[in-house]
Amino acid sequence: MLLYNYTAREPSTGKTVKASVQADSESAAAALIKKEGLVPLDISVGDSEGGSLVPSSLRRKRVKIKEKVLFSRQLSTLINAGLPLIQALRNVAAQTKSKQFRIVIDQVIADVEAGSALSKALAKHPRVFNAVYISLVEAGETSGTLDKSLERLAIQQEKDADIISKVRNAFIYPIIVLVVMTGVVIYMLVTVLPQVEALYDGIQGAQLPIFTRLLLFVSDVIKHFWWALAIVLGVTGFFMTRWARTGPGKAAVDRFKMRAPLIGPLYMKLYMARFARTGATLVGSGVPLIRVLEITGDAVDNVHIKSSLANSIEKVKGGKALSTTLEGNDNFLELVPSMLHIGEESGSTESMMAKTADYYEKEVDDQIKAISTIIEPVLMVVMGILALIIVAAVLLPVYTLSGDSLV
């Protein structure tokens, strides 16, 4: 099956439409175009045969969450208004500002025009549409509630993006302060401290205190071997990043996030909120429980929680309730199985998972505020200690000279 780029005209409005369609031949492409009520003006073979049309330069760029949320909401509204799927997709594509996303949507339109289901067409672009997105669209197609599934997707994406943004913003302030502190300390070491050494050089028999000499050694290393330090830091950062992407590396990083002081409780609540929110969205769209657990395992983005959910899948297949399989699991906070148990007993699993997500999202907000409250005085103390060290290194030699002159 070949991909054809075409230009066509809408008879009712006279508007020119440019898009793509997959077909076995040019005549078959023309037939598909006419079937959509368009008059084909020009048809040409595309650059790809079933592959991605996104150029490599654009493929490296990520589609923003806001663009996907807008796509989901607009498509949901148009479908709910009664527009045919392909026409709705064309209208959404025409309003999409991102060139990369526009190319992806055009290819989705071409696949749908060739007879593919929307979920299958979206699945060809895993970098843009994840497993949660595909499963919800597929469930919506099966149940005839595609517009509602897309609306749920938009809400879920907005909440997920909002909570991640809050966590990231919580660490921006301390990182900026640490960078500024490091810059000030380096400046003091390489400019101010050497002047004290020059002062002592002019005095015969005078010797700098050991503390000042130690800091001057650090200053000399920075001044003369800064390039070596930069290389070491760069290489270390590169290999640490590569290692963190390996199986053992990611397992170690994920375990650190879950157990580290101060940030451990924050990440655990974040993982629980993400698990509950994704689960509630999928269950509400009619996705089977086993598939829900498989998808949420990937969505949570933690190998230990994913492993726990994989074990739960086997137990659920054996007839156990999900809440029972998660009880006593160290990778899940106690409230999660308790709320799941209530939902299973009352037949309102979706509602209980949504309430769990709301609770932990609020907890994440409170935890971020608590961390911010703790970090500010800690940073002030650290800044005070660093200032004391630099001042001591400068003033100790001066006081030593003053003492020697008095003697």
pLDDT tens per residue, range 319-328:
889 999 999 8
Of residues 231 and 25, more confidence is placed in: 231
Measure the CA–CA gap between 375 and 144, rounded to whole angstroms: 50
Residue 194 has pLDDT above 70, yes or no: yes
Q: How confident is the model at residue 234 (pLDDT cuts 50, 70, 90)?
A: very high
Residue-level pLDDT at 326: 92
Residue-level pLDDT at 401: 63
Q: Long-range contacts: 209-216, Cβ < 8 Å, 24+?
A: 209/396, 209/397, 209/400, 211/392, 211/393, 211/396, 212/393, 212/394, 212/396, 212/397, 215/189, 215/389, 215/390, 215/393
Residue pointed to by tokens 């030593």: 400
Lowest mean pLDDT segment, chosen from 17-21, 277-281, 329-333: 17-21
Of residues 251 and 56, more confidence is placed in: 251
Domain limits, the chain:
2-129, 162-407
Domain 162-407, CATH class in plain words:
mainly alpha
Could you report the per-residue pLDDT of 127-182, keeping only the tens digit for each? 888 888 888 888 888 878 888 888 888 888 888 888 888 888 888 888 888 888 88
Measure the CA–CA gap between 352 and 349, rounded to whole angstroms: 5
Q: In CATH, what number does 2-129 get?
A: 1.20.81
Of residues 293 and 209, more confidence is placed in: 293
Q: How confident is the model at residue 111 (pLDDT cuts 50, 70, 90)?
A: confident
Residue 16's φ and ψ, nearest 5 degrees, are -90, 135
Stretch 246-268: mean pLDDT, rounded?
90
Stretch 97-112: mean pLDDT, rounded?
86
Q: How confident is the model at residue 49 (pLDDT cuts 50, 70, 90)?
A: very low
Stretch 37-55: mean pLDDT, rounded?
62
Residue-level pLDDT at 188: 85
- The H or E element spanning position 6 is strand 2-9
Partnered with residue 42 across adjacent β-strands are 7
